[in-house]
Amino acid sequence: MQTNKIVVITGASRGIGAATAKLFAQKGYGVCINFLTDDIAAEQLKNELLQYTVKCITVKADVSISSEVQRLFDTVDKELGCLSVLVNNVGILKTQCRFDEIEEQRFRQVLTTNVMSCFLCSKQAVKRMSSKYGGSGGAIVNVSSGAAKSGSPNEYVDYAASKGAIDSLTKGLALEVAAESIRVNAVRPGLIHTDIHRSGGEPNRIHRLKSKIPMQRGGEASEVAEAIFWLASEKSSFITGSFVDIAGGL
């Protein structure tokens, strides 16, 4: 089931990004897998997606840097075609600690990676999709976090702050471009089984906290991917500036 639609997914070599790339490919989309460090994982994912007989490219780029983002989208224009969907998925967090233990450099890196990447990529997408610029419309889906609401005290206040910024960006941009055939929404994953918890220094974090989840389990990356795809699809055609919490009731 091939379509003429193209999706760019940032930070797509693992976790939620990889699961989202697989689902879009299964639905017939041409896929751009953006990644930064893991060349092997990106190529393995690309080979897997090519089995669905869709176009697929990998682009290694730091999407917190304007020139790298420009190169990413120029490559998509050249090799895949007209952009239909952007999924701003890239994000980092650091080792758990109290707020007063967070170093300035860490805070800057987390906000730069998580927020600037969303801003820069969304700007490129709008210039391609917006009817104001002659585009035919499209959808942007941002990957926020339940941390935007909880604040993640004693763990990742910097990460939570970055995701709060993503929420504000989502709402503001959605209202700006609503009349230009672009929809902008976000998902807020909760405790999801991905490698990001290892980055925080606690690989088994979900096991420790799952009793606090009303559904008594952690979520899967594929469950987040389904929500992302729905928000990007025409099945959510009258939804913009909205948020889907994928957190098992939290």
Which phi and psi angles does 187 have, rounded to 5°? -110, 150
Indicate the angle between helix axes 117-129 and 66-79, nearest 10 degrees: 40
Rounded to whole angstroms, the Cα distance separating 247 from 194 reads 14
Spell out a b/e string for 80-98, using b for 16 or more CB atoms within 10 Å of the CB, else e: beebbbbbbbbbbbbebbe
Could you say which of 29, 133, 156, 159 is catalytic? 159
Rounded to whole angstroms, the Cα distance separating 69 from 80 reads 16
Tokens of 104: 């300035």
Rounded to whole angstroms, the Cα distance separating 59 from 9 reads 10
Residue 241 CB partners (closer than 8 Å, separation 6+): 170, 171, 174, 175, 178, 184, 185
Rounded to whole angstroms, the Cα distance separating 243 from 102 reads 29
Active site residue 52: no
Neighbours of 204 (CB within 10 A): 9
Decide: 151 and 157 in contact? Cβ < 8 Å: yes
Rounded to whole angstroms, the Cα distance separating 58 from 9 reads 10
Backbone dihedral region of 37: left (phi > 0), alpha (psi from -120 to 50 degrees) or beta? alpha
Active-site residue set? 159
